[in-house]
Amino acid sequence: MALSQTEPEQTLRHETPPAPSTTLQENDNNSDSAALGVGFLSAALLSACGGNGNSAGSPAVVSADLARSQKAAVVAPLSANDASRFLSQAAFGGNDTDIAAVQSQGAAAWLQNQFSVATDQPNWAWMMSQGFNSVADVETTDGIDNSLWRKLMASPDTVRQRISLALSEIFVVSLEDLPMPWRNFAAAAYMDLLAANAFGNFRSLLQAVTLSPAMGVYLGTKGNEKEDPATGREADENYAREVMQLFTIGLNMLNNDGSVASGAGGKPIPTFTPTMVTQLAQVFTGWNFANSAAAVPTSLQAPMVLNASLHSTSAKSFLGATIAAGTDGNAALKIALDTLFNHPNLPPFFGRQLIQRMVSSNPSPAYISRVAAAFISGNGGLRGDMKSVISAVLTDPEAQTSITGLSNSAGKLREPVIRLAQWARTFKAVSASGKWAVGDTTNPSLKLGQSPLRSPTVFNFFSPGFVPPNNVLGNPALVAPELQITTEATVIGYANFLQTAINGQLADLTPDYSIETAMASNPANLFNRLNTLLAGGQLSSATATLIQNAINTIPITSTNGALNRVKAAIMMIMCGPEYIVQK
Amino acid sequence: MNVPNMHRRAFLRKSALMSAVLGTAGPWALNLAAMSEAAAQTASDYKALVCVFLVGGNDYGNTLIPYDNTNYNLYQSIRGQLAYPQSALAGTVLTPRIALPDARQMALAPELAPLVPLFNAGNMGVVLNVGPLVEPTTLTQYFNNSVLLPPNLFSHIDQQTFWQSSNPNGATSGWGGRIEDLMMSGNGNSMFSGMSVSGNAVFLSGNTASQFDIGTSGPVLLRETSQPLFGSMTCARTMQTLATQARANVLENAVTGMMQKAITGNASLSTAISGVPALKTQFDQTNSLATQLQMVAKLIAARGALGVKRQVFFVSLGGFDNHTMLMEQHPGLLTKVANAISSFYNATVELGVANQVTSFTASEFGRTLSPNGDGSDHGWGSHHFVVGGAVQGQSFYGTLPVTAVGGPDDVGQGRLLPSTAVDQLAASLASWLGVSASNMSTVLPYSGNFNLNTLNIFANQTTASIPAT
């Protein structure tokens, strides 16, 4: 699945930082100005890139700048546009308060603070409190879509929720194939688990996922029994295969920069053999739910437990590790997960996917290397420190390169789920009933063609290596995962469904357009505000002209004139390519 | 029995040689100059192929089941708790026009009972032990790593891709799309040459042909094409303009290109479909495969208005990766498959095109015959159905495998070494649709390795053939 990529050369430009904007009404949009904020580094390396706006940085100048900046330890303030842009990468965009916070704290510090922001009610607890644990719910998915959308749209720990969503698209569990009583609660517990581990260590995350009851059902570890030589029955290989192929190391050996390593004759080197799958499968035997007397089994929230008599006692070897015959199941699990965790593929394999979920579809090899390095030894030499990896992804110079410095293949499509969540957070949508009954948004013609925890298969809604057909991107080395769900049905489904939401007709979600309607008599001000809020100021001046002229055709004095101007403007922006592709 | 290593390195090394033979610039680029030599396929009648993809790897062991006592007992002893009782199979025993060798009898799973009348009427046949192969492969050759094999044989995504495209994961064209590359110039509106009711499928992408995705609820119209946007027609038009304009950023341009195609295409589809009478044939609305095939039937009903003569469709049903709970889940899936296929066949009869529409099932692989507990693991060869009036049905095509673990067809735990290549099945289907023998290798790059005349699914077929080595 991994494709080697060649990324067009990027030149870091050091722009003159603009005067910090205090309100979003300022004409802060991108238009023709190159002054769009500064590149910055992680909290450990604060940057004050100087230099004139349009000078292309030669490597010598760039490294001199960086050397100066490492001593300077001064953070130049971000523009509102760049703060908003950062929020699109790190979170689900944001409203005025979020943007102002990023501006005042600085992106790196804001991110560090986000690591400590408290979450609101976890999915499990909320669903219990809402009564989705009635007998009638036992074989349904009642309540889970409600709770997942509640978290996406309103949970205060916005970065944690964005990372949890990303993790749910790598360590996939799906309601579409979770045949068990209380699948709704099992899925709730799974999402709570991802959220709880989002800022911890990857090794803990891997263990928690492996022993998760929902994952146990989804990929077969639950009740998996040791091999039986008498009948020829082997252990179920589902989890063993996918934990390697999808969750940790992939199919081919990688270099640290994410490129596929070359073996004999320049061909890829497989990471594992089918024999290794069979052997590793024997490790994942003997695990099952703990007993639980509760009506909704609380054991669905706890790691599975080991029944030693059902655990395979054979000797096992895979990926260079050996497990001696008779090794206890817990010890065997530790060896297996340690082996996966320490595999050299894991940093680039996971790092590249995290970049793809947050920032861009085609990161340069150098960017991937930096993120991989953070995985290997971030936070003072700790392997797998999620905060280090997340910071590396979000504060990398390549993530922060201003739009004028980007190639024409930069960025990524925003996922439809994230677009809807951004609308909700930007305009502070509230569910009056508290039910957040957005529902399953999978329908491709009528809704988003995507819904949290409802991927069609364990391969997520889209593949990290998806190359659209007919060479649409003009370069067969480019991938665009989200294009896999961008079809003749979904592009229209999204637009029609979004319009319903914008119009306040999605369940009982009521947006707050008061600030926007107050400025709707001035289409330029309205446009600039929405451009900053939604698109990081990236909409061009040509687009600005078109939208402002169109807004003007709605008389401000007509019934709901101001409100209609606002809704129309949001729609024109959020259905346009400059918004849909974040850069 | 352990499954030996894959042959990916050998495969990729030799594929470079193959592209030299084909005269292509790279491993997967087709030689368009060679294609242009071939006359564009034109035809005055209508034909359609429908790929029914069973996602996850359909368990062949409980789809087509040995019924004669000797083989049933073998099946039962291998499958243990996964085995149907023999008495449950009495109603679905298949009686082919030509008896199977060695007094063997096979039965469909009980849930596939709706397919039995199709079989008996000669409108359905069973392709035995078919799977992805690059070249003819014996068991010895497989274990000795001495032939080219499809890479990553037991990986879902790679085998789904290989079944659909004869290429590994990352392929950007499939054989359905490559058929359309050749045939779409005969379609009045070539946009609808390949249609999916199941999202993006590499099967339908050609080098020039691209698929068109439609949902089960039918064509969708962007509101702004006909209504003001919050009171303003200018806003509606501006929204459309912005959403469809060409863009310098290639990702943006892909999005706007898709929107332009979606607006144009859905408008044509909507007009075409609204102009044909509703189907009388009933489809179970709770069965997602049935509702997908119902949409296919509606599209076929509108073929005149759409001006299409050769179409390829793609539908799918998920849930077949039955590592666990096979007996709880698989029967229900088979029920859906049988009901959907038989409803669809009835719809083609209603539309008077029963002889012009051929459906076939496909799946990334079969599964093990030995259980892993209450399920089965990823396999390889599997049995599939071909359905339609043009099919010389009431037949088995290919070779029935021996019911055994460790037998002559077994690469491990009852995973079948395919005795028929997907390319052989695909070539028969492509040939029926009208692809000429001289063009077959552009549709199926490895088809030249196989004898393409062995299956006899359709009457009077002559496809390109090289005697099997």
**Is the model's pLDDT at A23 over the cut of 70?**
no
Evaluate if residue A50 carries a pLDDT over 90: no
* Position A230 confidence tier, pLDDT thresholds 50, 70, 90: confident
Are the beta carbons of A251 and B155 separated by less than 8 Å? Answer: yes
CB-closest option in B206, B214, B329 to A489: B214
What does the domain layout of chain A look like in residue ranges?
A: 28-48+414-582, 238-341
User: What is the mean pLDDT of the segment spanning B117-121?
Assistant: 98
Contact call for B243 and A408, based on CB within 8 A: no
Contacts of A443 in chain B (CB under 8 A): 215, 217
Give the Cα separation of B62 and B59 in Å (integer): 6
For residue A1, give both structure tokens: 């699945």
B316 residue type, one letter: S
pLDDT digits (tens, 9 = 90+) for A121-155: 999 999 999 999 998 999 999 999 999 999 999 99
pLDDT of residue B168: 63
For residue A556, pLDDT beyond 90: yes
Contacts of B124 (CB under 8 A, 6+ apart): B115, B118, B385, B386, B387, B391, B393, B394
The Cα–Cα gap between B75 and B91 comes to: 18
Taking the model in full, what pTM does it have? 0.88
pLDDT digits (tens, 9 = 90+) for A51-63: 333 334 444 444 4
**B214: closest chain A residue by CA:** A489
- Mean pLDDT, residues A213-226: 95
* pLDDT of B34 above 60: no
- List of chain A residues whose C-beta atoms are within 8 Å of the C-beta of residue B184: none
The verdict on a CB contact (< 8 Å) between A236 and B202 is no
Q: Which candidate in A492, A539, A583 is best for mutational testing of the B interface (most B CBs within 10 A)?
A: A492
pLDDT at A379: 86
A412-440 mean pLDDT: 98
pLDDT interval class at B116 (50, 70, 90): very high
Least confident of A9-13, A154-158, B400-404: A9-13
| A147's tokens | 């709770």
pLDDT attached to residue A234: 85
CA distance B126 to A461: 33
Q: Is the pLDDT of residue A521 over 50?
A: yes
B290: alpha, beta or left? (left if phi > 0; alpha if psi -120 to 50): alpha
CB contact under 8 A, A580 and B329: no
DSSP type of residue A257: T
Distances (CA, A) of A145 to A132, A141, A568: 11, 8, 28
In this predicted structure, the answer to whether residue A331 has a pLDDT above a threshold of 90 is yes
Structure confidence at residue A75 as a pLDDT band (50, 70, 90): low
Burial (Cβ within 10 Å: 0-12, 13-18, ≥19) of residue A261: middle
Concatenate the DSSP letters of all residues of B38-89 into one string: SPPP--SS-EEEEEEEETT---GGGTEEE-SHHHHHHHHHHHGGGPPPGGGG
Backbone angles phi, psi at B101, to 5 degrees: -70, 160
Which pLDDT value is given to residue B372?
Answer: 85
pLDDT band at residue A66, thresholds of 50, 70 and 90?
A: low
Residues B331 and B336: their CA atoms lie apart, in Å, by 9
Query: CA nearest A198: which of A169, A159, A234?
Result: A159
Measured between beta carbons, the chain A residues lying within 8 angstroms of B319 are: 177
Among A491, A549, A565, the residue to mutate for chain B (most B Cβ within 10 A): A491
- Is CATH 3.40.462 what the domain over B42-217+283-449 is classified as, yes or no? no
Whole-number pLDDT of residue B43:
56
Nearest by CB to residue A486, choosing from B202, B211, B258, is B258
Spatial distance between the Cα atoms of A118 and A160, rounded to a whole number of angstroms: 9
B235 SS3 class? helix
Mean of pLDDT values over B216-224: 96
Band of residue A293 on the pLDDT scale cut at 50, 70, 90: confident
> What is d(CA B431, CA B179) in angstroms, rounded to the nearest whole number?
10
Any idea where the domains of chain B sit in the sequence? Answer: 42-217+283-449
Contact B243, B256 (CB under 8 A): yes
Residue B9 confidence (pLDDT) above 60: no
With beta carbons less than 8 A apart as the criterion, state whether A450 and B162 touch: no
Distance CA A34, CA A217 (A): 52
- Determine if residue A273 is left, alpha or beta; phi over 0 gives left, psi from -120 to 50 gives alpha, anything else beta: beta
Per the prediction, chain B carries an average pLDDT of 89
- Alpha-carbon distances, residue B7 vs A267, B143, B424 (angstroms): 11, 10, 22
Query: Is A121 within 8 Å of A575 (Cβ atoms)?
Result: no
Asked if B387 contacts B124 with a C-beta cutoff of 8 angstroms, the reply is yes
Length of chain A: 583
Mutate to test the interface with A, among B158, B235, B237, B273 (most CBs of A within 10 A): B235
User: Nearest to residue A413, comparing CAs of B248, B171, B254?
Assistant: B254
Q: How much is the mean pLDDT over chain A? A: 88
Q: What is the average per-residue pLDDT within B395-409?
A: 95
How far away is chain B from the Cα of A424, in angstroms, using its nearest Cα? 19
**Per-residue pLDDT for B11 more than 60?**
no
Which chain B positions have a beta carbon within 8 Å of A471's beta carbon? Answer: 172
In angstroms, the Cα distances linking A223 to A283, A306, A376, A391 are 13, 10, 34, 38
Does residue A8 have a pLDDT over 70?
no
Closest alpha carbon to B47 in B356, B302, B276 = B356
What is the predicted pLDDT for the residue at B25? 38
Confidence grade of residue A296 (pLDDT, cut at 50, 70, 90):
confident
Mean pLDDT across B343-361: 98
Give the residue from A488, A498, A527, A580 with the most B CB atoms within 10 Å of its CB, the best one to mutate.
A488
List, for residues A341-384, the tens digit of each pLDDT value. 999 999 999 999 999 999 999 999 999 999 999 999 988 899 99
pLDDT at B225 over 80: yes
Q: What is the 3 state secondary structure string of A219-236?
A: HCCCCCCCCECCCCECCC
- Is the CB of residue B144 less than 8 Å from the CB of residue B10? no
DSSP state letter for B442: H
Contact (CB, 8 A) for A153 and A430: no
The helix (H) or strand (E) run that includes residue A114 is: helix A107-114
Q: Angle between the B233-244 and A561-574 helix axes, to the nearest 10 degrees?
A: 10
Scanning every residue of chain B, which has its alpha carbon at the shortest distance from the alpha carbon of A577? B252
pLDDT of A91 reads 98
pLDDT at residue B115 greater than cutoff 90: yes
SS (H, E, C) A359-404: CCCCCCHHHHHHHHHHHHHHHHHECCEHHHHHHHHHHCHHHHCCHH
Per-residue pLDDT band for B29 (boundaries 50, 70, 90) equals: very low
B12 contacts A268? CB cut-off 8 A = yes
Percent of chain A with pLDDT over 90: 81
Quick one: pLDDT at residue B463?
Answer: 54
The separation between CA B254 and the C-alpha centre of its own chain, rounded to angstroms, equals 27
CA distance B20 to chain A (A): 17
Whether residue A445 is predicted with pLDDT greater than 70 in this model: the reply is yes
CA of A146 vs chain B CAs: smallest distance (Å): 23
Q: What mean pLDDT do residues A440-467 have?
A: 96
Question: What is the spatial distance between Cα A473 and Cα B249, in angstroms, rounded to a whole number?
Answer: 9
Cβ within 8 Å, pair A446-B217: yes
Q: How confident is the model at residue A49 (pLDDT cuts 50, 70, 90)?
A: very low
- Facing residue for A489 by CB, picked from B5, B220, B323: B220
- Write the secondary structure of A302-341 as one string of H (helix), E (strand) and C (coil): CCCEECHHHCCCCCEEECCEEECCCCCHHHHHHHHHHHHH
| Helix/strand/coil for A522 | coil
How far B225 CA sits from the closest chain A CA (Å)? 11
| Start-to-end Cα distance in chain A | 24
pLDDT in tens, B38-95: 334 455 699 999 999 999 999 999 999 999 999 999 999 999 999 999 999 999 999 9
Asked if residues B217 and B272 have their Cβ atoms less than 8 Å apart, the reply is no
Shortest Cα distance, chain B CAs vs residue A533, angstroms? 19
Q: Least CB-CB distance to B329: which of A179, A408, A496? A: A179
Instruction: Count interface pairs A-B at CB distance under 8 A.
Output: 290
Q: What percent of chain B has pLDDT over 70?
A: 88
- Residue (of B50, B48, B52) closest to B363 by Cα position: B52
Cα–Cα distance, B356 to B361 (Å, whole number): 17
Name the token pair of A163.
């990372």
Please report residues of A whose CB lies closer than 8 A to that of B248.
408
Q: Do A268 and B9 touch (CB under 8 A)?
A: yes
Mean pLDDT is lowest, of A70-84, A534-548, B311-325, for: A70-84
| H or E, element range at B395 | strand B395-397
Whole-number pLDDT of residue A216: 97
When pLDDT is cut at 50, 70 and 90, the band that residue B8 belongs to is very low
Average pLDDT over residues A304-332: 97
| pLDDT tens digit sequence for B175-196 | 999 999 999 988 988 999 999 9
Could you give the CA distance from residue B28 to residue A302 in angstroms, rounded to a whole number?
48
